[in-house]
Amino acid sequence: MSNYNQALGYLNASDRDRWILERRGPRNRLDPRLPYAFFNETEPNLGGGEIPIGTVLLTNRECPYRCLMCDLWQNTLEGTVPDGAIAAQIRYALERLEPARQLKLYNAGSFFDPAAIPPAEYAEIAALAAPFERVIVECHPAVIGRRTWRFRDLLTESGRTGPRLEIAMGLETVHPVVLDRLNKRMTLEQFRKSARQLKQEGVALRVFLLVRPPWMTEAEGVEWAKRSLEFAFECGAETCSLIPTRAGNGAMEALQADGEFSPPTLHSVEAALEFGLSLGAGRVLADLWDLEQFATCAECAEGRAQRLRFMNARQEIIDPVTCRSCS
């Protein structure tokens, strides 16, 4: 058992934070007036076809919630950005991106954390977002509230119909013990309450889920991903994003060295995506970044990756890959 277990007993959140911080490497050096990345992508439209999306990864202050598995802090600042910096970043990216129907503004934390995205910039951000059908931002359930509704109203006022606001929230897992150990600082009931508020206020919900977080076997990782998908859709999610749990932030490597974490295989990601699609409750997308690290068989790895890409794009289950080596 790792010293994360032995020393902390999962009781003291500040001690958990300290354990996680002690295992970090250096963060990247960033310009507060430039987004640290931006790109065009597509997502499937349930009515058929693809939705072009412009995605901007904003440079801003680090999230105050030190989730055990998070590596996004590597592209954050230690303090709040200067006045006007966030709008300047968005403007810079939009001038260089291809035209799109939807806009993602991801900030490696909570969009409605006032120390990350200054509320004084909401009006200008809404004006920049006015040409889009939908604006997608990410936020911890605890930060959903008055600022969320204010930004939604500004979006509505920014055009004739105004973009619809969508919030992406990290549920990660419905396993209550593992959720607590991940240092998420929330309960399932708190997540459900925030989801209910979003629905009442006409804000769409997207949910991030982990495939095989720490302290799970491969089979448990699939089973709890399925339960988490069911819970997310019960809470009103329109889209669920399945994220294979990765190392890469220091803390996860420490757990891996102690035998308390192993990344999922492509087989598990496939199984979770298949189940989510079989529910027919909304879009389910598998995160395909750096897929090769989850391959356990060189002979069928590319075929499995192509199958995941196809199921993501078409939102339908296709025949499984057969492999002589790992059947």
Q: Is 235 exposed, middle or buried (0-12, 13-18, 19+ CB in 10 A)?
A: buried
Residue 218, SS3?
helix
Q: Alpha carbon 238 to chain centroid distance?
A: 14
One-letter amino acid at 16 equals R
Q: Please check the confidence at residue 293 and state whether its pLDDT lies above 80.
A: yes
pLDDT of 213 reads 98
| Banded model confidence at residue 1, pLDDT cuts 50, 70, 90 | very low
**In contact, 75 and 29? CB cutoff 8 Å:** no
One-letter amino acid at 291 equals L
Name residues whose C-beta falls within 8 Å of residue 18's C-beta, 6 or more positions apart in sequence: none
Distance from C-alpha of 271 to C-alpha of 223, rounded to nearest angstrom: 9
Best CA proximity match to 245, nearest among 69, 4, 75: 69
Distance from C-alpha of 266 to C-alpha of 199, rounded to nearest angstrom: 33
The predicted-structure confidence for 222-247, as pLDDT tens digits, reads as follows 999 999 999 999 999 999 999 999 99
pLDDT of 7 reads 46
Query: DSSP secondary-structure letter at 212?
Result: S
Query: DSSP secondary-structure letter at 316?
Result: S
The predicted-structure confidence for 102-114, as pLDDT tens digits, reads as follows 999 999 999 999 9
* HEC-encoded secondary structure of 157-211: HCCCCCCEEEEEEEEECCCHHHHHHCCCCCCHHHHHHHHHHHHHCCCEEEEEEEE
The predicted-structure confidence for 247-287, as pLDDT tens digits, reads as follows 999 999 999 999 999 999 999 999 999 999 999 999 999 99
